[in-house]
Amino acid sequence: MPELRHDPIQRRWIIIATDRARRPTDFTHEKASVTSVSFDPFAPGNEDKTPPEVFAIRKKGSEPNTPGWKIRVVSNKFPALKIEGDLDREGVGLYDKMNGVGAHEVVIETPELTETIATMKENHLALVLKTYRERLVDLMRDTRFRYILIFKNHGSEAGASLAHPHTQIIATPITPKIVALELESARAYYHIKERCIFCDLMKQELADGSRIVLANEHFVVYCPFASRFPFEMMVLPRVHAHRFGESSDEFLEHMAYTLKEALTRLNVALDDPPYNFMLHTAPNINTEPRRANYWETLQYDWHWHLEIIPRVTKTAGFEWGTGFYINPVPPENAAKFLREVDI
């Protein structure tokens, strides 16, 4: 019997289509990894083919915008939003508009074209996570930006236009709808119970155990009860924390270990599938102008997290027309398979 399941954070219903239940071997896709490209603008030696770096972790003695880097961050050559200018908000009849002001950066994760998060060494992945933190903290200083989203598209089916491993960072002058809804759900839950909804969900998942992929001293990774997609995963720090930007070096080293294992399990289970991940952290509350009581309980009710979404099914008319998602793999089955896969 199919099931309708409700997600209390994003306040949506999901259809778990048990009659369509499928195993990992039933999913076919183009492998996300790419072994050759005609031209790689992110490769060492092509630094002049990208905008100047805004941040980099380099080998000792190497100069900016030359080879010798471990991680580079550059502005996107074709940005969705541009950093120059003022917002100039205005109404257009019943509509509203503002200038497309923001920031759009690319984190080039490694000099190696064929390396992925699942294959890179943990100490290097920790440097990637520390780079996310540094750019997030820096962009938060701009009072025009309400939100900074860090996200990764792995594979062309997940939206990656370049094969070289990279992550994108976009700062926006508004809080995205999905994040705003999560924030509102967390605040409403805290208002009633004076507890974090993410902490409560994590405790419940640990007690149940059927949807846990992995758990260690610092992180829990599980397939959400109302997973939108097969093998979707949520990565939560065990200790309550609302800002990713406040994570210590040591904590990010533990996160590197956890994220690498989670993606390695996914990689092995589904033969390197395309996927997206999104880091949801607290919004910037130091914007100008500021709203009264703008997310004033964030430190108590919000819990930063990372969502991993394999792109192994298609979103079609029913999903777009209703907002429902149909997931043919119950999250309990997905978690069991990922948990038991031999890595």
For the cut 80, the answer to whether the pLDDT of residue 138 exceeds it is: yes
pLDDT tens readout for residues 215-262: 999 999 999 999 999 999 999 999 999 999 999 999 999 999 999 999
Segment among 129-143, 277-291, 301-315 with least mean pLDDT:
277-291
**Rounded to an integer, what distance in angstroms lies between the CA atom of residue 216 and that of residue 258?**
8
Range of the domain at 180: 3-340
Domain containing 140 — which CATH number? 3.30.428.10
The residue assigned the tokens 């507890």 is 195
Q: What is the pLDDT of residue 19?
A: 66
Element at 61 (helix H, strand E): none
Per residue in 30-43, pLDDT (tens digit) is 666 554 557 899 99
Take residue 17 and report the two structure tokens written for it: 């289509």
Please say if the pLDDT value at position 26 is more than 70: no
DSSP 164-194: S-EEEEEEESS--HHHHHHHHHHHHHHHHHS
Q: Using one digit for the tens of pLDDT, what is the confidence trace for 106-128?
A: 999 999 999 999 999 999 999 99
What was the pLDDT predicted at 35? Answer: 45
Q: Where are the beta strands (DSSP E) in 229-289?
A: 233-237, 275-280
d(CA 333, CA 30): 23
- Report pLDDT for 24: 62
Average pLDDT, the chain: 92
Rounded average pLDDT over 252-275: 96
pLDDT score at 31: 64
Count the domains in the chain: 1
Cβ neighbours, 10 Å, residue 194 = 10
Give the integer Cα–Cα distance in Å for 162 and 110.
Answer: 14
**Residues 9-16: what's their mean pLDDT?**
91
Q: Please state the rounded mean pLDDT for residues 161-174.
A: 94
